[in-house]
Amino acid sequence: MDASLFLARVLGLYFLVVGIALLLRPKSLIEMADEFMANRPVMFLSGLLALTVGILIVASHNLWTPDWRIVPTLFGWIAFLKGTAILCLPANWTKIGRFFLRESFLIPAGMAYLLLGAFLAYKGFFG
């Protein structure tokens, strides 16, 4: 299977589930994220995980094409940069996270995740 199709399937399903969670439980996700950001070891592990996912995607799928296949590449670079930021600048990352943890932001973000997930899942499974 082509790497682009595989990543479209995986990321599509990921974005669909995260989008649904953001829309169904924004308040509990805000509370959970506050607790998460207060736990330094968990933040460190999440930085390692994001960095690892980013490196794996960038190493296997660094395609800068003018079509849908650029989306997994962008997600890989975003995950790489996010993991790097969490590991190297945890206090700054916590401030950024708290800025975005508002219900007025999470609802549109959830809808965007759903749309992106549907698009990628469609490309991966049917496109």
pLDDT tens profile 38-78: 999 999 999 999 999 999 999 999 999 999 999 999 999 99
| pLDDT in the model for residue 85 | 95
pLDDT higher than threshold 90 for residue 97: no
DSSP the chain: --HHHHHHHHHHHHHHHHHHHHHH-HHHHHHHHHHHHH-HHHHHHHHHHHHHHHHHHHHH-----SSTTHHHHHHHHHHHHHHHHHHH-HHHHHHHHHHH--HHHHHHHHHHHHHHHHHHHHHHHT-
- Quick one: pLDDT band at residue 93, thresholds 50, 70, 90? confident
| pLDDT in the model for residue 102 | 86
- Quick one: pLDDT band at residue 115, thresholds 50, 70, 90? very high
| pLDDT in the model for residue 103 | 85
pLDDT higher than threshold 80 for residue 1: no
